[in-house]
Amino acid sequence: MPLREVEEPSGRETRLVVLVVVVALAVLLLLARFRFPSADLTVVVPAPGPLAGLAARATFDEMASAMAGLADRVEPSIAVLDIEPVPPLEHAAAGRGAAPVSPRGAPRSPAVSPTPTPPPPMPRRPHVVAALRIRSDLVVAYVGAGMRVATKEGEPAAEVIALSADPAIVILRAFAPAVSIAATVEGFAGFSYAGVVDVTPGGPTVQPTFVGRADRVEVVGWSRSLISLGRSDIPAGTFVFSIDGRLIGLAIRSGDSVSLVPASALIAAVADVPPKVAGPPTP
């Protein structure tokens, strides 16, 4: 058929185009009225480039890359918390008064290991510690003996709840940082690399460490066993994460060494804290 003899697009063609476009738009507008059921994207390690598997890389480069990735993943859940020494008079009154929250479950039998000796006092000067969002309305931090959460001038004091199992661990009712931890490690057995998350005045930072032997110890006051690391180079008050961004636990002083409060123990400890009930609207 000579191409010149093909007629201009006829009415049929135009009607077909209009029909298809109108129907497509109408259906699209109708479907756009429905909201997508909310679901969190799972934390996924970005796929490596096509040549990543072929290129030989130095081990330290991989560790640096892993730490940088870990920092990106945990930063939304970590806040910088200012703490200050408790004045002596207030420290004495606090010892007589408060009713802290108890973790779930009865204390362990006398067959458990004795309560660890009180940890040596933290530096008695204002400094910053890491606070981790453990629940949508709660953050947890290790402030150490003789320290308290600093109150910033002009800002209302945050609601602070101390754990009876270890008064050096505090829970704050706060709504920042914005993201709760996404996943935790169950049954940490040691002998793996981990990231120690601490804070500087500028923000969170991560240090790599190799965790060797990790023994379970029963401690009075905790419904779950703690993890004894038998070493003291992990600073107390830091949070230990696995390389893929899952929380292993909170480092606390335990005698001359450091123990980890496992993530499950922390979560169980805050489970008894009731959520904040919205009060009556202010006039």
User: Site residues (CB under 8 A) for other proteins?
Assistant: 1, 3-4, 6, 8-9, 12-14, 16-17, 20-21, 24-25, 27-28, 31-39, 41-42, 44-51, 53-54
Comparing CB distances to other proteins, the nearer of 47 and 277 is 47
Shortest Å, Cβ 71 to other proteins:
17
Shortest Å, Cβ 251 to other proteins:
31
Shortest Å, Cβ 245 to other proteins:
14
Shortest Å, Cβ 7 to other proteins:
9
Shortest Å, Cβ 50 to other proteins:
4
Shortest Å, Cβ 226 to other proteins:
35
Comparing CB distances to other proteins, the nearer of 21 and 92 is 21
Comparing CB distances to other proteins, the nearer of 44 and 89 is 44
Comparing CB distances to other proteins, the nearer of 17 and 92 is 17
Comparing CB distances to other proteins, the nearer of 19 and 271 is 19
Are the beta carbons of 70 and 240 closer than 8 angstroms? Answer: no
Comparing CB distances to other proteins, the nearer of 8 and 61 is 8
Distance between CA atoms of 118 and 255, rounded to whole angstroms?
Answer: 7
